[in-house]
A = this chain, B = another copy of it.
Amino acid sequence: MANIREVAKEAGVSVATVSRVLNHPEFVSPATKEQVLSIMKELDFIPNNLARGLALNKTYTIALLIPNIMNPLYPEIAKGVEDVAHKHGYNLLLCNTEQNREKEQEYLNLLMNRRVDGCIITSSLLTADELAEAGKNRVPIAVIGRPRQIPGIHCVYTDYLQGGYTATAYLIGLGYSRIAHIRGPGYLSESEDKIKGYRKALGEKGLAFDERLVIDGDNEVESGYLAAKKLLRLDPRPEAIFASNDLAAIGALDALKTEGVKVPEEMALVGFDNIKMAAFVEPKLTTISIPVYRMGLMAARLLFDAMAERVEAKVRDTQEIDLTPKLVVRKSCGHEDRIGEIFS
Is A49's CB under 8 angstroms from B91's CB? no
Given contacts A91-B110, A93-B91, A95-B91, contact A115 B76 (CB under 8 A): no
Closest B residue, CB atoms, query A47? B113
* A137-187 residues at the B interface, CB under 8 angstroms: 137-138
* A58-109 residues at the B interface, CB under 8 angstroms: 59, 61, 64, 68-70, 72, 74-76, 78-79, 82, 86, 91-96, 109
Answer whether residue A280 sits at the interface, using C-beta atoms and an 8 A cutoff. Answer: yes
Rounded to whole Å, the gap between the CB of A158 and the closest CB of chain B is: 19
Rounded to whole Å, the gap between the CB of A34 and the closest CB of chain B is: 21
Whole-angstrom distance between the alpha carbons of A183 and B74 in the complex?
A: 29
Is A92's CB under 8 angstroms from B93's CB? yes
Which bracket fits the contact residues of A? 35 or more
Q: Which of B50, B78, B92, B250 contacts A115 (CB 8 A)?
A: B50
Is B79's CB under 8 angstroms from A250's CB? no
Closest B residue, CB atoms, query A89? B110
Whole-angstrom distance between the alpha carbons of A113 and B1 in the complex?
A: 11
Whole-angstrom distance between the alpha carbons of A96 and B91 in the complex?
A: 10
Rounded to whole Å, the gap between the CB of A92 and the closest CB of chain B is: 5
Closest B residue, CB atoms, query A251? B280
Is B79's CB under 8 angstroms from A69's CB? yes
The 3 closest A-B pairs by CB, nearest first: A282-B282, A94-B94, A69-B75
Kindly list 10 other residue pairs between chains A and B, CB separation below 8 angstroms, not including A79-B96, A86-B96. Answer: A46-B109, A46-B112, A46-B137, A48-B54, A48-B113, A48-B115, A50-B54, A69-B78, A91-B93, A280-B280
Chain A contact residues, CB within 8 Å of chain B: 1, 46-51, 53-54, 59, 61, 64, 68-70, 72, 74-76, 78-79, 82, 86, 91-96, 109-110, 112-115, 137-138, 221, 250, 253-254, 257, 276-277, 280-282
